[in-house]
Structure 1
Amino acid sequence: MKFKKILMLVLSSLLATTSCEEPNKQQGEAITSQKVIIEQERKAILATLNNETKAAFQRDYEAWQTKWVHDPDITKIYLDFPENTFSESVGWNEISQFVKTFMEEHPETEPLPELLDEIEVRLYGNGAWVTYEQQDALRGRKRETRLMEKVNGEWKIAGMQTTIYGSETNETK
């Protein structure tokens, strides 16, 4: 009788241990899967941002505009500390016209900044909040914030704030 109780205790302990390990294994697999998805989305966002930058600096309006959400509520803001300027465009029509005018008035291409490889991304379903810093050959250090939306499986820009700090020589003036 004593042997039976010990055997039952051992078997129930093994059964409890086995049943506890399965959820932990499933949780680990879910976390790994989620990390893979986040990394895939980060790479897709990175490609959109780099391609939008290339198009803008090469004055390719057609390629540039494909990277943006065409919606009346999107925004584009520039804060340029060295030049002491601020500009804000609201809605696709205003942003599009601003960029077309800029490209017409400044048709010469600009040196392409080093393309991004590091960005901070926070995913929210079909949206993402992205921040990064970049060195621009003409403007110096910039901090960018982008609101991204996934439209028909593609990441597009729905909001942008660029803060230009300038080069170190500008910062010491």
Structure 2
Amino acid sequence: MIKNSLTTILLTLFLCLAGCKETQTEKDDVSITPEINYESEKKAILETLHQETAAAFQRDYEGWKDKWVHDPTITKIYINFADSTFSESVGWEEISGFVKTFIEEHPEPEPVPSMVKDIEVRLYGNGAWVTYEQQDSLRGLKRETRLMEKVDGQWKIAGMQTTIYGLQGEK
């Protein structure tokens, strides 16, 4: 009787320890993340931003839409202090429709702003928070904030806030 109880206790203890070891190994495997090359990701994000900006100013809708996440929760916000206007679009359908209408109503390309070289990037796995300032020859100083998502290996825009301060001397 004592021998059977002792055998049962030892067997239970062995199984518990083996199970704990296996759980720890599985946990270790799950927590391993690939090394992120910050400079490489920043460069790829900057390239996406350049291509999206150039496409928008050149009225290339297809090139522009390729740089956006097509999701019902994305947002696009413009705050223009120079002319006291504000606009907000929520969801891919609304944002896409807004841009299509704008291109139809303003088909002439605009001068593409000087491409930004200095951006602040905070990486969060397959997401990034990006901020920068840009000079637009028609609108003046702009501060941009972009929420980026990596989709199928490509950085795309999932959110945008543009604050326009206007040309020098205008406020």
Match of 1:145 in 2: 145
- In structure 2, give the amino acid aligned to 1:57: F
Residue 59 of structure 1 pairs with residue 59 of structure 2: yes
* Structure number having the greater helix percentage: 1
Q: 1:138 is paired with a residue of what secondary structure?
A: coil
Q: 2:137 and 2:125 mapped to 1: Cα distance? A: 35
Residue 125 of structure 1 pairs with residue 125 of structure 2: yes
Percent identical pairs in the alignment equals 72
TM-score, reference length from structure 2: 0.79
Q: 1:75 and 1:105 mapped to 2: Cα distance? A: 22
Aligned-pair distance for 1:169? 2.6
Q: 2:124 and 2:50 mapped to 1: Cα distance? A: 21
Aligned-pair distance for 1:168? 1.4
Q: 2:105 and 2:164 mapped to 1: Cα distance? A: 21
Which consecutive residues of structure 2, in runs of 5 or more, have no partner in the other structure? 1-34
TM-score, reference length from structure 1: 0.78
Alignment RMSD? 0.8
Count of matched residue positions in the alignment of Structure 1 and Structure 2: 137
Residue 157 of structure 1 pairs with residue 157 of structure 2: yes
In the TM superposition, structure 1's runs of 4+ consecutive aligned residues that sit over 6 Å from their partners are none
Correspondence 1:1-173 to 2 at 5 A: 37-171=37-171
Q: Deviations over 1:95-134 (max 9, x none)?
A: 0000000000000110110001110000000000000000
Q: 2:145 is paired with a residue of what secondary structure?
A: strand
Q: 1:131 and 1:88 mapped to 2: Cα distance? A: 18
- In structure 2, give the amino acid aligned to 1:135: Q
